[in-house]
Structure 1
Amino acid sequence: MTAADPHQGGPVRSTCPYCGVGCGVLLRPDGAGGLGVEGDPDHPANRGRLCSKGLALAETIGLDDRLLAPRVDGHDTDWDTALPHVADRFRETIAEHGPDSVAFYVSGQMLTEDYYVANKLMKGFIGSANIDTNSRLCMASTVAGHKRAFGTDTVPGTYDDLDQADLIVLTGSNLAWCHPVLHQRILAARKRRGTKIVVIDPRRTATCDAADLHLALAPGSDVALFNGLLAAIHDQGAVDRDYARHVDGLDAALAAAGSDRPEHLTGLPAAELQRFYDLWIRTDKVVTVFSQGVNQSSSGTDKVNAILNGHLATGRIGRPGMGPFSVTGQPNAMGGREVGGLANQLACHLDIENPDHRRAVREFWGAPAIAATPGLKAVDMFRAVGRGEIKALWIIHSNPAVTMPDADAVRAAIAGCDFVAVSDVTANTDTARLAHVLLPAAAWGEKDGTVTNSDRTISRQRAALPPPGQARPDWQIIAGVARRMGWRDAFDYTAPVEIFREYAGLSRISGLMGRDFDISGLATLRDIDYAAMAPVRWPVTAQRQGGRFFADGRFFTETGRANMLPVRHRAPAANPDRRHPYRLNTGRLRDQWHTMTRSAKSPRLSAHRPEPFCEIHPEDATALGIAPAGLVELSSPHGRAILRALITTDVGKGELFAPMHWTGETAPSARIDALVAPATDPVSGQPESKAAVVAARPYAATWYAFAVSAAPMTPDAPYWSRARTRSGWRAELAGTEAPADWEAQARALFGLPDAAVQAVTDPARGHHRFAFHDGDRLLAALFVAPEPVLAGRDYLATVPGTDAPEAITGRAPADRPDPGPVVCSCFDVGINTILAAIETQGLHSVDQIGAALQAGTNCGSCRPELATLIARATAPAEAAE
């Protein structure tokens, strides 16, 4: 496996920038600034597969919104101006207020080398631990749970365990949508060896469609469920007494487990619980996969330890096909954990509160100081910004004004900070718009370094395109500021390979001090070897490479034994009451990513779910008077949101679900984290993003509108959302007060003061349609009604820029069928196309749809929707028979 030189015309081996699966990709520059992207068949994480987001990466490369020059106080400048300015502001702040008056907020989008330099600067040279990462919102509870149980943040198993397990438990993980390549791997194992699948989730998700058992437990009751499992393990005599010699705390954990009443706390029938417990206990090869539904909780660390307890009690850890397995949300969340990107860590899994560890790191770095105590975790960091205690803040590749809980307060805190620098690829984010200095960073496809995926595999991410304008890689920007703060020799790097060798050298010290993380076998890697480096799983030493941990009963605690923790159920931090009677769950969609700065550039990805929504149970919708496709207004003690209602039994009564991707750039009223309380886990500091409490009511709109345009639109309405299409843009709008002049409003929306217009208006009924043309070419169209607009949206989204005289009707002509909303994003197949094929070709299975249309044949994440379409289409015929 070698990395090709892009200048020689061969593919460049790199990794996908989305989730923690860490899929390998082959990049082929097209010579015109674009890329061809396909899965790397030789990469061990994906073996050539890509999900819908990975397949659409080529659509996200454009420069239309790129930040191309440093910007100081709103004015473009150069690096020789911007870097000294940032360095001076940080140095002056530290001199006046001390090192804890400054902070970095970094990101799992950074490469390991970038992360390492930022951590070194803050903890070793500034002398504060006030560096935290958006991974705090993702997997901090797993880190804390691992450290409590194992002594280090060690992932015991590998992806190969998914191929070899006989039972896979997916808890707090919509794997089919959030990690589709791993989900397909599990489904392949089921087909090959009959692997059973259990899904634990309050909400019915796409992952449930392939499950043998779905446990729709009450939100926040995971500890009670897994305590019940531990008690059943004991009662059925399944404790591995030989392995228990390597474990402390078994009796205390059992006593705590016996105090919970899982059938009461989880809301699950006793028969379902017993079925799960019996299946788990009687199956030797069990892998428990857990993700954000476990981590994002005020008791997230206890949930993690409750899961680990079951595996430790039975010795089902570190052997093929068995063990607990955390899947991470970001491409380099693991790399950030390894370099100490969290506020309570040192690099290479060393402990900030251990004086020997601090001394070793300080001496290795030749640092003038070393942080002696943990810094502020994310939620506390932004509270300190809001109080004025942190006076200089550097945010790198993150959008906390949207993603943090209590997002409105965080946005206000950043806006009020004395000095804010933001490194990003665009100036068009909610957070970047608040910065005093913007620093143009190289994007994915333009930067070079390493990332670590969820099973400890280190892969190279390689540049296939040059950075545009003045954009630079993050390590270079951070080191440039560090040198100008007076630490030239320590940050005199000229290439990422130099940083990687230093980092690998530091890991040797970690290994000698009894830590798990040691890649010292790579510390002398030559430049040419780094350039060609193949994926490798850590540890990498003269004695060992990769493999699993803990089958031998050797752990990284002071005693050398594992710790089982006595944990008990704790309800979420806030409970529904009369004023806020609904429990709000938040999460991800299949085709979008974080705050959409990359994924929303793809028309293909934006077509599946182009508008923010709130899932609500039919009985709740009826009680509230919320109609299908109506708008629902949510409010909490912290914020407010307006979303499209999606009435479904996928959520339980009293429970709501809303995705977390939309921002002030794409749907200002749908910034869902504005509703989430800043409640955190007391151990990990991770926020509780799955169990907010809210009130719900119909949004009292008096008008609704749908718009399409060849050029970007700037909506001005109480509710709006916009999405990119292949022909331009589409938007939904609504409000409570209608404009006096709808044509003038439409012209302002589209920026078309003089364009020719077709208009059909009925003021008495509140219906208006406008189509703007340049000759025969449609420029834009607006459709207004007093109720949600009935129009062929997915057809209309294709016509801007074309000759479309019939667009004013809002319907597709007979010779241009409307494909309908996209179901399969990989191959851009719409619902109407699928339904027509089912009817005309007599299709009766998902595989038949795949053979006819390709839908569902790549990442497979649309297969549950395809199965639902078949069931709906064939139900009337079957009923008639």
Structure 2
Amino acid sequence: MRHEAGTATKTTCPYCGVGCGIIATPRPNGSVSIEGDPEHPANFGRLCSKGSALAETLGTDERLLYPQIGGRRAAWDEALDLVADRFSAAIAEHGPDSVAFYVSGQLLTEDYYVANKLMKGFIGSANIDTNSRLCMASSVAGHRRAFGSDTVPGIYEDLELADLVVLVGSNLAWCHPVLYQRLAAAKEKRPEMKVVLIDPRRTMTADLADLHLAIAPDGDGVLFAGLLLYLANSDAIANGYIEQHTNGFKQALDAARGLDIARVAQETGLPAQQVEAFYRLFAARERTVTVYSQGVNQSALGTDKVNAIINCHLATGRIGRPGMGPFSVTGQPNAMGGREVGGLANMLAAHMDLENAAHRALVQRFWRSPRMADRPGLKAVEMFKAVADGRIRALWIMATNPVDSLPDADAVAAALRDCPFVVVSDIASATDTLRHAHVTLPSAGWGEKDGTVTNSERRISRQRAFLQPPGEARPDWWQIAQVAQRMGFADAFSYAGPADIFREHAALSACENEGTRDFDIGLHAGIEAADYAMMRPFQWPAREGEEVSRLFAAGGFYTPDRRARFVAVSPRRRQVCDTRYPMVLNTGRVRDHWHTMTRTGKSARLSAHLAEPYGELHPADAQRLGVGEAEIVHVESPHGAVLVRALVSPRQQQGSIFVPMHWTDQFCARGRVDALVPALTDPVSGQPALKNVAVRFSRFAAAWYGFAVAAERPRAEDFDYWALARCVGGWRLELAHGAPHDAPEALLRNMMASHPPNLEFIAFHDERRGTHRVAAFAGTRLLGALYLSRTPVAVSRGFVVEQLARAHAEARSRFRVVAGRAGADRPDPGATVCSCFGVGANQIAAAARAGCNSVAAIGEALQAGTNCGSCRAEIRQIVEAARPAAAAE
């Protein structure tokens, strides 16, 4: 339903696993006000740039509005009947394992639960896996090996209470900004708190770090195995905790023998003094939290790295107490909720074990299911290989975009092209995956759907609807239940709403539990719809008469003997490079975009910070290969190639290149970076190795570069390199091409999707320098402008973008558009640094030269950094760089 204008709804952010509370209020003009919920215990009112811009992503343009079969509009009954018929036929002819679901951490727990129940308990296969396999599977596997369950022991408050916070493979400032803000605020109050960052790149998170260990890729396992040995030799071991609550310590220690500081330094590429400094900090500070994320998990060694970290916390007894513990922070809003209901191919609902016959029997009795999967299904990478070789005949993809996000992405696209039957449920009408669907189903999106999500600290919160779903969009749980009913399972899938599903989910978690399993929310097993509607955030376990926030301080693990297990990690660093592919590719996220940009790509504000895919490389590598700043780089592996903008930066390690994972064929020419990544996975978790890939790169020989703006989405497919982004008033476009260009006026006319016949062109040409600038007007309105050069185009992009929304009645105004810069009275603001307030780098630098010599002073003068705070590290860098210039003036 759509709430009345002025009615505030408390809900939860749909981005990362922090799980921030949001207050959404529809306005009379149809827009929505977004603000942080000051009462939500995850964020206490804070929001990052993405959360703050949520209202800008809620439009119904580029939405799937009705079901389609083969590209034609269809009624829901026809589409659902076809899905049920084709899945039933495949099962009848080829068996239950011939079908699969590939689901997503963007689903709500209720959606996840129904999908898992249908696949594992009624179809009888475990071929359901999730894109959370790509971000959190190694953490899950490490937890299960050590704790006997997929349990995160700590809570967010521990980051604020710790005396030492170790960030491993986590760019917290950009990927979990609200947690970064909480940590930064705590450190400001207690300067004696120490922060160590372990990351090959000097990311923006390093701004907060007292020590940055620029470790070699995949060196984390060696570093923490060496730390275990150091702790034992330094008498920093909690012998009582080890004896009472653990097994396997001797074996884990034996596996680390020989890893003295010198050997660790050699293996990790770190100076021995830095290794020793980190080890001393860890040994001396009892209140220590180790936060780890994709840099640890997305590795062929990911599970061992997780257990190497956990081993150090078990050995010191630093777990489950205030300010202590290993802490996995999840990438998606409901990665943990999916894990709770068995969304992974090797797990059962309610954290029960698929390999445990008693657990399978319990779930089957509870569901009254006809057949129960009795062995693990295909994990994500395996699943799409099975699609390719014909073992999977029918596939349903829900709320995710595997053609861009899975490794060996071109092979994934080819597999979907050849699959006999593909169903895609989504909100977006144009994705790289959707083009391969035989049936597309329109799903309700954030703000329209109703259910629960679980964040990284085991906190379950409500996502509530405050908008009417557009067109014929329907919730995912409803779609799955309707197909289940048509497959003959009506009684088990006759849910009236998400409250019914949550009630069943809670009841299953408590069924025959009695404290033997970690996940138990039996307190809510009888919840009524009215109470579900008003349910406040809570943490699990949530049993009657029991309140628990942290776990394992006094043991009580979920192994058969209730003891934690040390895992004997055989540390090694995976070498991937050779003479043909001598560089290391690292993939990851940027601050203001999310996944494959189906949501954030709709926001002009979020695209202003980084508007195109880039490759961040060290100056020495750029010089060696003749790559200049802002030129185009060709990055290649045995699996594929991409073209990205060069970002030359000393923050990057020599011999490596970083490329973000967000850009797709919808937004650029050749930017799908996961096409370069091999389908190599961790042998325990099945998580792909997305962070350590052998590549080579070279300068793309561009005959010319271009920058354009257009009032309507421009055509750019004919160029070797193009990258498209929304801006206020239209679109912005970066270009490069290897062949000479046509007449600039003709190029601009062809790029504009539609235009009136009375276009007026104003142009400037300098043939000798190869510089061309042309703008097209209709009346007083700018419809498009194009700037060409033999080198990367130097115009004020911020100024040019602004002109799409301005009237241009005077000749002087039009000439300024062609010039690509404002007059002397309007200085160029520079590249956007603060997305919240649209403040540019030049503005910050000018304020710094004028005496604003701190981030706080810049905030007072320009507001930059005063909302979400994600840009504060960048602001500090600009301020520090401006100080020598100011001193010299």
1:590 partnered with 2:599: no
- Matches of 2:768 and 2:171, distance apart in 1: 47
What is residue 258 of structure 1 aligned with on the other side? Answer: 257
SS at match of 1:471: coil
Q: CA contact under 8 A between 1:33 and 1:465: conserved in structure 2?
A: no
Deviation at 1:760, TM superposition (A): 2.8
What amino acid does structure 1 have at the position aligned with 2:774? F
Which deviations, in whole Å up to 9, do the C-alpha atoms of 1:731-783 show, x marking residues without a partner? 01111112444432321111246322223334564332221111121100111
1:563 partnered with 2:565: yes
What is residue 823 of structure 1 aligned with on the other side? Answer: 833
- Matches of 1:851 and 1:38, distance apart in 2: 21
1:771 partnered with 2:775: yes
What amino acid does structure 2 have at the position aligned with 1:464? F
What is residue 785 of structure 1 aligned with on the other side? Answer: 789
What amino acid does structure 1 have at the position aligned with 2:221? V
What amino acid does structure 1 have at the position aligned with 2:255? A
- Matches of 2:651 and 2:330, distance apart in 1: 24
Choose from 99, 117, 120 the match for 2:117: 120
Deviation at 1:188, TM superposition (A): 1.6
Deviation at 1:8, TM superposition (A): 7.7
- Matches of 1:189 and 1:571, distance apart in 2: 34
Equivalent residues in 2 for 1:357-376, closer than 5 Å: 357-376=359-378
What is residue 304 of structure 1 aligned with on the other side? Answer: 306
What is residue 846 of structure 1 aligned with on the other side? Answer: 855
Which deviations, in whole Å up to 9, do the C-alpha atoms of 1:343-373 show, x marking residues without a partner? 0000010011111000110111111111100
Q: CA contact under 8 A between 1:536 and 1:546: conserved in structure 2?
A: no
Q: CA contact under 8 A between 2:6 and 2:28: conserved in structure 1?
A: no
1:61 partnered with 2:63: no
Q: CA contact under 8 A between 2:709 and 2:732: conserved in structure 1?
A: yes
Which deviations, in whole Å up to 9, do the C-alpha atoms of 1:703-747 show, x marking residues without a partner? 111110111112121111011111211001111112444432321
Moved more, 6-15 or 650-659: 6-15
Equivalent residues in 2 for 1:235-384, closer than 5 Å: 235-245=233-243, 246-260=245-259, 261-384=263-386
- Matches of 1:97 and 1:745, distance apart in 2: 53
Q: CA contact under 8 A between 1:206 and 1:861: conserved in structure 2?
A: no
Q: CA contact under 8 A between 1:156 and 1:550: conserved in structure 2?
A: yes
SS at match of 2:239: coil
What amino acid does structure 2 have at the position aligned with 1:633? H
Which deviations, in whole Å up to 9, do the C-alpha atoms of 1:620-655 show, x marking residues without a partner? 111100011111100001110010101111111101
Q: CA contact under 8 A between 1:394 and 1:420: conserved in structure 2?
A: yes
Which deviations, in whole Å up to 9, do the C-alpha atoms of 1:132-159 show, x marking residues without a partner? 0000001000000000000000000111
Which deviations, in whole Å up to 9, do the C-alpha atoms of 1:837-868 show, x marking residues without a partner? 2234x211111001111111222221111111
Deviation at 1:34, TM superposition (A): 2.5
Equivalent residues in 2 for 1:79-228, closer than 5 Å: 79-193=76-190, 194-228=192-226
SS at match of 2:441: strand
Which deviations, in whole Å up to 9, do the C-alpha atoms of 1:537-582 show, x marking residues without a partner? 001111423311111111100121100001022333x611111000
What amino acid does structure 2 have at the position aligned with 1:687? P
What is residue 820 of structure 2 aligned with on the other side? Answer: 810
- Matches of 1:546 and 1:723, distance apart in 2: 46
Q: Runs (4+) of structure 1 moved beyond 6 Å?
A: none
- Matches of 1:592 and 1:460, distance apart in 2: 24
What amino acid does structure 2 have at the position aligned with 1:222? D
1:869 partnered with 2:882: no
Which deviations, in whole Å up to 9, do the C-alpha atoms of 1:438-459 show, x marking residues without a partner? 1000000111000000000000
Choose from 502, 514, 517 the match for 1:515: 517
- Matches of 1:196 and 1:874, distance apart in 2: 26
SS at match of 1:669: coil
5+ long unaligned stretches in structure 1: none
What is residue 501 of structure 1 aligned with on the other side? Answer: 503
- Matches of 1:214 and 1:761, distance apart in 2: 49
- Matches of 1:476 and 1:816, distance apart in 2: 54
- Matches of 1:387 and 1:452, distance apart in 2: 36
Deviation at 1:388, TM superposition (A): 1.3
Q: CA contact under 8 A between 1:612 and 1:659: conserved in structure 2?
A: yes
- Matches of 1:468 and 1:712, distance apart in 2: 23
Moved more, 252-261 or 203-212: 252-261
Equivalent residues in 2 for 1:282-681, closer than 5 Å: 282-509=284-511, 511-512=513-514, 514-572=516-574, 575-681=576-682
- Matches of 2:93 and 2:715, distance apart in 1: 43
SS at match of 2:513: helix
What is residue 761 of structure 1 aligned with on the other side? Answer: 765
Moved more, 229-238 or 825-834: 825-834
What amino acid does structure 1 have at the position aligned with 2:145? R
What amino acid does structure 2 have at the position aligned with 1:696? F
What amino acid does structure 2 have at the position aligned with 1:167? L
- Matches of 1:5 and 1:707, distance apart in 2: 38
Q: CA contact under 8 A between 1:637 and 1:675: conserved in structure 2?
A: yes
What amino acid does structure 2 have at the position aligned with 1:210? L
SS at match of 1:668: coil
Deviation at 1:513, TM superposition (A): 7.3
Q: CA contact under 8 A between 1:510 and 1:518: conserved in structure 2?
A: no
5+ long unaligned stretches in structure 2: none
Which deviations, in whole Å up to 9, do the C-alpha atoms of 1:395-450 show, x marking residues without a partner? 00100000001111111111111111100001211001111111000000111000
Which deviations, in whole Å up to 9, do the C-alpha atoms of 1:457-494 show, x marking residues without a partner? 00000001010100011101111111111111111111
TM-score normalised by structure 2 residue count = 0.97
Deviation at 1:64, TM superposition (A): 1.1
Q: CA contact under 8 A between 1:51 and 1:826: conserved in structure 2?
A: no
Q: CA contact under 8 A between 1:420 and 1:434: conserved in structure 2?
A: yes
Q: CA contact under 8 A between 2:617 and 2:648: conserved in structure 1?
A: yes
What amino acid does structure 1 have at the position aligned with 2:688? P
Q: What is the root-mean-square deviation of aligned Cα atoms in Å?
A: 1.4
Q: CA contact under 8 A between 2:222 and 2:573: conserved in structure 1?
A: no
- Matches of 2:849 and 2:227, distance apart in 1: 47
Deviation at 1:192, TM superposition (A): 2.1
Q: CA contact under 8 A between 1:776 and 1:805: conserved in structure 2?
A: no
What amino acid does structure 1 have at the position aligned with 2:230? A
Q: CA contact under 8 A between 1:348 and 1:510: conserved in structure 2?
A: no
TM-score normalised by structure 1 residue count = 0.98
Q: CA contact under 8 A between 1:5 and 1:12: conserved in structure 2?
A: no
1:832 partnered with 2:842: yes
Deviation at 1:515, TM superposition (A): 0.9
What is residue 230 of structure 2 aligned with on the other side? Answer: 232
- Matches of 1:358 and 1:197, distance apart in 2: 44
Deviation at 1:61, TM superposition (A): 0.6
- Matches of 1:722 and 1:9, distance apart in 2: 35
Which deviations, in whole Å up to 9, do the C-alpha atoms of 1:154-179 show, x marking residues without a partner? 00011111121111000010001111
- Matches of 1:543 and 1:242, distance apart in 2: 30
What amino acid does structure 2 have at the position aligned with 1:532? M
Which deviations, in whole Å up to 9, do the C-alpha atoms of 1:584-625 show, x marking residues without a partner? 111100101000110111111100011111011111111100
Moved more, 5-14 or 357-366: 5-14
Deviation at 1:879, TM superposition (A): 5.4
